[in-house]
Amino acid sequence: MIKAVIFDLDGTLYQSTVIREKFAEAAYLTLSRFQKITLADARKLIETRRDELGKKTGAGVPYTLVLKSFGVTIEFWHRENINYFDPRKYLSRDERLIESLVRLKEQYKLAVLTNNNLVQTERTLEALGITNLFCRIFTYNTYKLLKPDITFFKKAADDLQVIPGECLFVGDRYDVDLEPALSLGMKIRHVKGPEDIYSLAV
Ligand SMILES: [Mg+2]
């Protein structure tokens, strides 16, 4: 029996081309500062590495994992992207999402589990109007762990006082969100964005 529904954040609870671009620009800036190279060179390096890594998984690789492959610390990356853009500028309240989550909350513990940092996560949830609908928000800052590390998923389930088999994980990336969740025994739902959550039946 499902007791908790755990959501990825970016690309799952919202879809935004502008924010995807902002993340990309922030990543280029981060690598250019880290390696003391031009922005254009950083962009080339990142997109080439992203293509290489993507060939292995067959999916778009998150910038966090690309930067990590260059030795950029997560703390450095997060500091840069927090300063570079504020998601509240580009997102607005999603009434249909709010309704759906309110409905789910009547039956299940709801949580967010993201590789994003706490600052950007809180800004994003605030913009969407859904901050208070989750009993727990797990970010990189919670345990200093990143998906697809299954320890991140396991600790979150422990924290929610449920076993993995009682969790449904909802995410947009199979290799990062769903494969590790599945390997722990969680149920999974692959979504392409919030539209798929409006009609989510657990
Ligand atoms: Mg995502």
Output the 3-class SS for 154-172. Answer: HHHHHHCCCCHHHEEEEEC
Say what the pLDDT of residue 57 is: 74
pLDDT tens digits, 60-118: 788 998 999 999 999 999 999 999 999 999 999 999 999 999 999 999 999 999 999 99
Q: How far apart are CA 202 and CA 188, in angstroms?
A: 10
Distance 137 CA to ligand 1 centre (A): 15
Contact 183, 150 (CB under 8 A): yes
d(CA 24, CA 92): 21
pTM, full prediction: 0.94
Task: Give the pLDDT confidence score for residue 61 in this predicted structure.
Answer: 86
Q: Give the three-state DSSP class for 95.
A: helix
Distance 9 CA to ligand 1 centre (A): 6
> Can you give the pLDDT at residue 62?
87
Count of beta carbons in the 10 Å neighbourhood of residue 60: 16
Amino acid in the structure at residue 180: P
Q: How far is the CA of 133 from the centre of ligand 1 (A)?
A: 19
Give, for 129, the enclosing helix (H) or strand (E): none
Give the model's pLDDT for residue 169.
Answer: 98
| Cα 8 to ligand 1 centroid, rounded to whole Å | 6
pLDDT of residue 59: 73
**Please, are residues 14 and 124 in contact by the beta-carbon 8 Å criterion?**
yes
CA of 124 to the centre of ligand 1 (A): 13
Residue 18 pLDDT? 96
Retrieve residue 183's tokens: 């390997």
Q: pLDDT under 70 in the chain at which residues?
A: none
